Amino acid sequence: MEARIESPAALLSGPAAVLLLALGLEVALGDPVSRWHPVALFGRAISRVLRVAPSHSPRRELAYGALVVTLAVAFVFVGTAVALDLLSTVAAPIAVLAGAVMLKTSFSFRQLDYEAARAADLIERDGVLAARGPLTALVSRDVDGLSPLLAASAAVESVAENLSDSFVAPIFYYVILGVPGALAYRAINTLDAMIGYHGRYEFLGRATARLDDLANLIPARLTAALLVLASGLAGKNPRAALAIGLRDHQRTESPNAGWPMAVMSGALHVQLEKAGHYRLGEPADDPSPEAIRRALPIARWGAGLAVALALLVLAAPALVR
């Protein structure tokens, strides 16, 4: 059968419409901080579950942590799918709108952009202590005692890594698994932020950390590729971005975070460093508040390319039949 190209109005129906509406909510509202935000509600529920977690027994902690992440992710995925299916039996437009609202809760970029720009201004004008608020919102490491250079480095790293974790990855899973997939990814990522690290949660969070690594395997590399293209569109150096990305991505403990961070390092021609852990890029220009500002247009182009790619994939079946 000969392929037939339909009207571009096909973009305004089905999964593409849900994504466009969700992006509209992101532009209009950002990611408002509220104790009633679904991610906040999920976090509080998990905190209660963790209160009764076993301790002083690595084997039991491993088993409990694996059970928690399995049940939590399954509950989010199945619950979302059932809710949307029920709404679709009432009215398709209601299901589309509800899906858009749900999808919006899985990703965020405007807040990342805002906090990074605010951190740059405060570090430059008043020093690291004055920028503690936005820096804490951006990075998980302890910002107390960081030099202005290391604080700027942390902010640039966060812009690159969170573009993957907070924007590209949820949209990637939406494209392949729908709204339930995007929210399930957000559940995994939230759990990882809570317990997926060494120390107190060494065993309890191990299953979550491994699942998060697996979930970000493709999105992190996709984000790196988008950032290479974005660096060219932003007037930076895509060749250096690609070269440093390929060379330095393995220097971080995370098997995924190094990809977008190393690419950003190459694009900006700065060395990004977490003291005692890694250095990415050439010892060229030291990161500064201005480096944070130069990273933001690259991240914006990267986000735009991710959206364009997602819409192209979603609309393809409707546009060509």
Judged against a pLDDT cut of 70, whether residue 8 lies above it is answered with no
Burial class from Cβ neighbours inside 10 Å (0-12, 13-18, 19+) for residue 6 reads: exposed
pTM of the model: 0.92
Estimate to the nearest angstrom the gap between the alpha carbon of 266 and the chain centroid: 20
In this structure, of 91-95, 168-172, 233-237, 309-313, the range with the lowest mean pLDDT score is: 91-95
Three-state secondary-structure class, residue 71: helix
Share the mean pLDDT of the chain. 91
Separation between Cα atoms, residue 209 and residue 189, nearest integer Å:
9
Is the CB of residue 291 less than 8 Å from the CB of residue 156?
A: yes
The pLDDT confidence band at residue 31, using thresholds 50, 70 and 90, is confident
Separation between Cα atoms, residue 127 and residue 130, nearest integer Å:
6
The pLDDT confidence band at residue 18, using thresholds 50, 70 and 90, is very high
Q: Which of 27-36, 149-158, 199-208, 223-232 has the highest mean pLDDT?
A: 223-232
Three-state secondary-structure class, residue 261: helix
The pLDDT confidence band at residue 1, using thresholds 50, 70 and 90, is very low
